[in-house]
Structure 1
Amino acid sequence: MSAVGRHLTIPDRAGGWWHEYVCPVHGVELLPAHNDSFPCSYGCVLTGEPYTGAWAVLAHQAAARSLRRLAVRARAGDREAADLAIDGLNRYADLYARLGATTHPDAQGWMLSGRLFQQALTEAIWGTSLAHAVHTLAGTVDRERLLPAAELLRDIRESARSARQLLVERGDFRHNYTAWLNAAGASVSHALALLGEADEAADWVAGPYGIGEHAAAAINGDGWEWEGSTYYHVFVLRAYLLAIRDCPHETLPPGLSHRLHDMIEVVAVLATKNGQLPALQDTPYGGARWDDEIAELCLLAAQLPHSPSLVFLRPKSGESWREAEAAGWLGGDDLGDLTKTGRSSRLFPDAGYAVLSGTGYRAILDFGPHGGSHGHLGKLALYLYGPTAGWQPAYGVPPYAHSLRRDYYRRTAAHPTLTVDGADQREATGQLLYWRPGPSTVVGASAEVYPGVRFERHVRADPEHLVDVVRVAADRDRDFVLHLRSDVDTQVRHTAIGYQTWWPGDGGLTGHHASIPAAALGTGPDLGPADDPQRTRPHLRWRVFGRQAVFVSAYSRTATGLRVEQTDGRLIVHIGHSDGGTVRWPVADREWD
């Protein structure tokens, strides 16, 4: 899928839906195609549709990225790269013309159909890359050589305009698709303007239903994209940054620059020290395509004056052509300040995330809105990460065409939260009870996810330990299970006060666990995170039957014990330390009937 010699690999066919490039047996994304077969890392070999069409999507997107890379080389004086880029653009112009003006015949009924791809979204991403290749080539090669590409870009822009109008008519304007349709329209317009045509970019950036209006509708006041999904937050942010090439920040629509800074700050706060982004609400990131997207995000974000730094997130194996392309993206000559940003505990009240930091750990409490079609049934989940280890991570989902997405990974028990009577939680928005930042940051939240059940979670984070308290009460005897989900080989043993767990990685972490009344903590093998469902991981189930329960966990490298005291509904947690001292935490000064 890259330029080799004097040939660029471009499929001579329309693409399908990339989410179907998944092994139906093992749930993993398939490996690169080999002789019209599609291997799985566990030994399966698939042929025919839908895998051929899904692979064509990935091949087309890779070819489009290769055209951008070739254009950068051409701008540096590489004539062979210029010829290869022109040839690739001409072949795409021919292919797009041969497809006619009809929508993709195999698009599923729920899809916003494209022409070269089943999804108009996929087509917009591909078209944005092609537009930037032409943008970079303009002024480097004779304008006449780009005339077939100009016709192609006009068609892509009209397709994007029609698709955006359909979204508006459906009442789905704030959808993440709109961000990429606008990115395609704006990027095409910038490129065509460099070829002597009227510049329509302002319509796509600042006009009706353009980027400015979309950001105002789709981005929360706390900087999160409204779905609360890490993947789609980054997805929309990349679209915005790609769309504003050659737009000095002072010319951006009112409020857009501020929203972009807030969105970048979300990424900076959320990431772990080694650059991992938790897979909140949806798709996990990983692999070469993820590294390429993150490298692009880091470089484009650095072009915004005073932008929060993402330098710690940038993959070390990133390709140098990205940096050459990004330089001067917003009309400047140099990349922005790449000084590392400090990342402390933060509350995102609109998305409903409390990010908690201590020495060697990072935790996230999810109490916010459900998140639309990408939301998971895991309200009041508590995720826990080391600098490199996923001690209790968000598991994400496999590609959407696989049944495990809905049958397992979106369900409640796949998340580190509570189930009642074995049922899934209902879709809900939690309520923030309090947030008190400081040397010891404390947060509490509640969620009405089971009828007749009161469910709260309280978390305290300080440099030495993380304390987690789950309180639940019901209108009758119920089966309460608190799930602990791991991506390490967590060990469990019974103790005098309850249980102790050991979480390896990053020097290790010890958990002390006690409950009122006594609850049974069992462990067994289960599916691992969604990037590889076959990677077996421990599933800890902490279970008690009754009308009320309190589950208390203290994670630390220095704590020696845990004691829980409950008197007249008032709960106090005592944590012993190796130096002989004790930390005392009155959890919540609230009545608990």
Structure 2
Amino acid sequence: MIAAPLREKKRYGWFDAALRALLEETDAALEAGVDVPEEPGGWWHQYVCPTHGTELRFDPREREATAFRCPHGCVLEGEAYRGAWLVFKHQERARTALSAAAMYAATGEAKYAEAANAILEAYASRYPRYPVHPDAQPWMLKGRAFHQALTEAIWATTILRAFLLLRDEGALQVDAAASDVFFAMVSSSMTEYRRILIEERDEPANNYTAWLNACLACYYAVRDDRDGMETLVSARGGLRHHLEIGVLPDQLEFEGSLYYHVFVLRAYFIAAEMAERLGFDATAWTGSAGQSFRGMLEALVGLAAPNGELPALHDGPYSRPPYAREIAEVFEIGYARYGDARFAPILREAYRRADGGCGGGTGSAERRGLEAVLYGEGDWPAAEPLREPSRLYASAGFAVLRHADNPLSLLADFGPHGGSHGHDDKLNVVLMHRNGFVLPERGMVPYGSELRRRWFARTPSHNAVSVGGRTQAPHTGVCLRFDAEARRSYAWLRSEGAYAGATLDRHLWVDRDVALDWFEVRLDLEETVDYWLHFAEPLNVGGGWTACTPDAAPGEDEAYGYVATSARWTAEEPFAAVAATCGGERVTASLLAVPGGELYRIASPGTSVDPSRPLDGLLYRARGRRATFVAAFAAGDAPIRLARGDEGSVLVAPAGGGGTAMRFRMTEHGLHRE
């Protein structure tokens, strides 16, 4: 939803600073002129360094490029990199057209309208000369300006939005005949792609469909075609139907990826804005199970860390500025529509990451730039962390466990695999702190990287358990019990499809003092069982560790080749304790000693921001037909103390040595505190 006119937003205290940031971004992009590339783009997922696994750098001020650099200094050449660079360049040109149109709408300065019109005019002339892409991979729906029709739809929505904004402001100066041909070609392509996807492939729920819909909605708004919009709203796979079939009853996009959830929601909001221009009431679009735009926003709030950071569940980047801008866009629109104060922490974190915080730095958390200027409304409430309750996402298969007085919380994944965007990660956990992630889901690198399937999607890269040195089979786990009470939250999750003859049970407990993980493995045959924990920040392991060779913990799956062991715990103690930090605050992890087990300190590829920067971690290895791993996490300097009690119970003593030890015991009804 673009609130017009933009000049009225000067009444907000944040608007002048946001506009200055947009001016700087737009002027920097216009230094490269208003020309558009003569060549179509390729596939952006190939814009990745084969040595470091990092996304290559893109400078919007570059007019042309034939050599491409990774953050570590590698210089790469070749058609694949060139094609990927062109994707970024085309997308930047479209964004600059929209940014310049917004600058004109906010300031009335004619030079910005002239620049936006010039970019649109250039594409109206150039687009008909792009061929249907001859180099696209066979599985792709092929575009003209890009390998993929999906990328083309996203790019075209930005072009069409710029056109509409200029028209709204009475500043449109694009040749009508040329733009008619351009937009008609885009519409024809998108209509055909929808037919292929929905009718031939029978995939109306595909995330592609949401963007093809959004692009066509923009076209119908440009043409003032209410009949076309009516058909798009009501058709199979159309604007209303996609919300019904593409979103699960618990309000998450069906693939279980938060990245694709934001991706689809952004398309929904674009389509809704365009439909509303023609008199449709998009607020009435709901699914039969209550699916709604607001529900999709609230689902993200329920999964976020208290600082507003979203976990990278299934495919999706750990963090990158373009994704942060997308998060900012959907939550600015959501805040303008619903005024929900819970959206503010996510917006602050999105702006911080869009402003350079993705690599671990500290960007500004203030509203600024295109997303704020176009979509921002009202003033945010004072900065406060999210204080969400525990929540079970039964259909998507996530469980979140929190306690109001504990800075730590747990998020577990037990649900559907996620299809082509899924990971071998059932019963994986993410440990969250009020400042962010302690045990993160490390995200996904661009799909052109060999690390995608060899490491990032496989079990050893997650905070999960692997059996026999193998990655899990794609499958769906179950939640056997979920209790959310004032004094504690508890979840019992089970997997029986990860490995033949294996039953995996993960019991998670969060109360005011501890976040407890009790993982039981039962096997038909004796095998090696590996329990993995990967930390976002370096560990302080203290004493009791002995250096070991890097090949101390081999495995059958290729993912093990990315794991290096550095030390083995050799102390004769009932538990091992390590410490990490999160946002400058200490977090401790205590692991109960496993009889006959081997505990290693490990290093493995980093998050998808930079896989060449290793993450610190722990690997607890046991062998047999039964294995039980118990870990306790606490905020603060002092670790939880663990010890074995009678009849298989475990004593859990509060951090700092004070208070009475809690006794936990496993029963047929699950984990029980005595």
Question: Where does residue 396 of structure 1 map in the other structure?
Answer: 443
Structure 2 letter corresponding to 1:503: A
Is residue 295 from structure 1 mapped to residue 328 from structure 2 by the alignment? yes
Q: How does 1:439-588 map to 2 (within 5 A)?
A: 439-448=487-496, 449-492=498-541, 493=544, 494=571, 496-506=573-583, 507-556=585-634, 557=636, 560-565=640-645, 567=647, 571-577=649-655, 578-588=657-667
Indicate the SS of the match to 1:397.
Answer: coil
Q: How many Å apart are 1:580 and its aligned residue?
A: 2.4
- Assess if the C-alpha contact under 8 Å between 2:455 and 2:461 holds in 1: yes
- Assess if the C-alpha contact under 8 Å between 1:190 and 1:200 holds in 2: no
Separation in 2, partners of 1:335, 1:251: 21
Separation in 2, partners of 1:505, 1:198: 52
Separation in 2, partners of 1:347, 1:402: 34
Q: 2:236 aligns with which of 185, 194, 208?
A: 208
Alignment CA distance shift 1:72-1:511 (3 Å): same
Separation in 2, partners of 1:274, 1:307: 16
Separation in 1, partners of 2:661, 2:639: 9
Structure 2 letter corresponding to 1:131: L
Q: 1:15 aligns with which of 41, 47, 64?
A: 41
Q: How many Å apart are 1:391 and its aligned residue?
A: 1.8
Separation in 1, partners of 2:313, 2:618: 20
Offset from partner CA, 1:328-351 (integer Å, 9 cap, x none)? xxxxxx559868764222111111
Alignment CA distance shift 1:415-1:575 (3 Å): same
**Structure 2: gaps of 5 or more residues:** 1-25, 352-364, 545-570
Separation in 1, partners of 2:76, 2:35: 21
Question: Where does residue 56 of structure 1 map in the other structure?
Answer: 86
Q: How many Å apart are 1:463 and its aligned residue?
A: 2.5
Is residue 39 from structure 1 mapped to residue 87 from structure 2 by the alignment? no
Separation in 2, partners of 1:143, 1:525: 56
Structure 2 letter corresponding to 1:311: A
Indicate the SS of the match to 2:292.
Answer: helix
Question: Where does residue 360 of structure 1 map in the other structure?
Answer: 407
Indicate the SS of the match to 1:200.
Answer: helix
Q: 2:265 aligns with which of 231, 237, 246?
A: 237
What is the count of residue pairs matched by the alignment? Answer: 579
Question: Where does residue 431 of structure 1 map in the other structure?
Answer: 478
Separation in 1, partners of 2:408, 2:640: 18
- Assess if the C-alpha contact under 8 Å between 2:479 and 2:494 holds in 1: yes
Separation in 2, partners of 1:150, 1:275: 43
- Assess if the C-alpha contact under 8 Å between 1:467 and 1:554 holds in 2: yes
Q: How many Å apart are 1:119 and its aligned residue?
A: 0.4
Question: Where does residue 104 of structure 1 map in the other structure?
Answer: 133
Alignment CA distance shift 1:317-1:142 (3 Å): closer
Alignment CA distance shift 1:253-1:233 (3 Å): same
Question: Where does residue 557 of structure 2 map in the other structure?
Answer: none
Separation in 2, partners of 1:342, 1:220: 24
Task: State TM-score, norm by structure 2.
Answer: 0.81
Indicate the SS of the match to 1:110.
Answer: coil
Shifted more, 3-12 versus 68-77: the winner is 3-12
Question: RMSD over aligned Cα, in angstroms?
Answer: 2.4
Indicate the SS of the match to 2:523.
Answer: strand
Offset from partner CA, 1:557-581 (integer Å, 9 cap, x none)? 36541124463xx655533453222
Q: How many Å apart are 1:155 and its aligned residue?
A: 2.0
Separation in 2, partners of 1:528, 1:113: 33
- Assess if the C-alpha contact under 8 Å between 1:220 and 1:226 holds in 2: yes
Q: How many Å apart are 1:154 and its aligned residue?
A: 2.5
Is residue 265 from structure 1 mapped to residue 298 from structure 2 by the alignment? yes
Q: How does 1:34-183 map to 2 (within 5 A)?
A: 35-76=65-106, 77-99=108-130, 102-141=131-170, 145=174, 147=176, 148-168=178-198, 169-183=200-214
Structure 2 letter corresponding to 1:398: V
Offset from partner CA, 1:328-376 (integer Å, 9 cap, x none)? xxxxxx5598687642221111111111224222321110110000111
Structure 2 letter corresponding to 1:296: E
Question: Where does residue 20 of structure 2 map in the other structure?
Answer: none
Separation in 2, partners of 1:309, 1:513: 35
Alignment CA distance shift 1:565-1:284 (3 Å): farther
Structure 2 letter corresponding to 1:277: L
Indicate the SS of the match to 2:437.
Answer: coil
Q: How many Å apart are 1:386 and its aligned residue?
A: 2.2
Separation in 2, partners of 1:335, 1:244: 21
**Structure 1: gaps of 5 or more residues:** 328-333
Q: How many Å apart are 1:400 and its aligned residue?
A: 0.2
Q: 2:423 aligns with which of 372, 376, 379?
A: 376
Offset from partner CA, 1:49-68 (integer Å, 9 cap, x none)? 11111011011111111111
Offset from partner CA, 1:293-314 (integer Å, 9 cap, x none)? 1221121112333657421112
Indicate the SS of the match to 2:301.
Answer: helix
Q: 2:314 aligns with which of 281, 300, 324?
A: 281
Alignment CA distance shift 1:471-1:586 (3 Å): same
Separation in 2, partners of 1:158, 1:223: 32
- Assess if the C-alpha contact under 8 Å between 1:443 and 1:458 holds in 2: yes
Q: 1:420 aligns with which of 467, 471, 481?
A: 467
Shifted more, 71-80 versus 436-445: the winner is 71-80
Alignment CA distance shift 1:458-1:146 (3 Å): farther
- Assess if the C-alpha contact under 8 Å between 1:205 and 1:253 holds in 2: no
- Assess if the C-alpha contact under 8 Å between 2:436 and 2:582 holds in 1: yes
Report sequence identity in percent: 31
**More relative contact order in 1 or in 2 (CA 8 Å, sep 6+)?**
2
Question: Where does residue 330 of structure 1 map in the other structure?
Answer: none
Alignment CA distance shift 1:9-1:24 (3 Å): farther
Separation in 1, partners of 2:127, 2:653: 66
Shifted more, 72-81 versus 127-136: the winner is 72-81
